[in-house]
Chain A
Amino acid sequence: KAGVTQTPRYLIKTRGQQVTLSCSPISGHRSVSWYQQTPGQGLQFLFEYFSETQRNKGNFPGRFSGRQFSNSRSEMNVSTLELGDSALYLCASSRDNLEEQYFGPGTRLTVT
């Protein structure tokens, strides 16, 4: 059974640009969550989608958005990038929100 996949694995962007990250969950998993990991703040929850609906949202500005498609694949978008957005972005999937989450390898975003 294939695990969670994230693309791209690495990304370098310039301040002010926007970026879209993609996540494909494990087959059969309908819940997809996104987390941001930085050395200073640790792992912080961004948002969670279930059956194409955002069910929960963390404390991030509106520049961070996401969506989920009918096949459960999810994308997150960050607009007007800032230096502080440099981080590892992790996607996790589960069959529903009450079970353990399985993480992808992450996308390492560097903003210059």
Chain B
Amino acid sequence: AQKITQTQPGMFVQEKEAVTLDCTYDTSDPSYGLFWYKQPSSGEMIFLIYQGSYDQQNATEGRYSLNFQKARKSANLVISASQLGDSAMYFCAMRRLNSGNTPLVFGKGTRLSVIA
């Protein structure tokens, strides 16, 4: 079974500063994908970034980067130069790959508040 753990229920960050949101995962599958989603108060889940278990380099997408440490089973999201619009819930998720059709398994989320 797969499990995602996000230990930070809430975090505050000053505008323009960088912030790291923690995510650890547990799986016995060798092939898996890790995802980060942002959920503003409107409710829509916005896809941010993806990391495959066999990817050699950490994924980056604009101000978002994923600090992937496979041996530690961690996939932390780093947001650089925080903006007020980054205030939202952030979810880490994973799914098995190449093993049939498996759904996303989500963590409990971290609420990020960006302060002006």
Contacts and interface: CB of A to CB of B under 8 A. Distances in A.
Interface of A: 33, 35, 42-43, 45, 48, 50, 55-56, 58, 88, 90, 92, 97-98, 100-106, 108
Interface of B: 33, 35, 37, 42-47, 50, 91, 93, 97-98, 101-109
A35 B91 CA distance: 14
27 contacts: A33-B103, A33-B104, A35-B104, A42-B107, A42-B108, A43-B91, A43-B104, A48-B103, A50-B101, A56-B102, A56-B103, A90-B43, A90-B45, A97-B101, A97-B102, A98-B97, A98-B98, A100-B33, A100-B35, A100-B50, A101-B47, A103-B44, A104-B44, A105-B42, A105-B44, A106-B44, A108-B43
A97 B100 CA distance: 9
A55 B101 contact: yes
Contacts of A55: 101
**Helix, strand, loop or mixed for chain A's interface?**
strand
Contact of B101 (A48, A90, A105): A48
Given A42-B109, A43-B91, A103-B37, A56 B43 contact: no
A70 to B, nearest CB: 20
B20 to A, nearest CB: 21
A88 B42 CA distance: 11
Contacts of A103: 37, 44-47
Nearest to A4: B44
Contacts of A97: 101-102
A58 B106 CA distance: 13
- A42, A48, A108: which has the most chain B beta carbons within 10 Å? A42
B103 A58 contact: yes
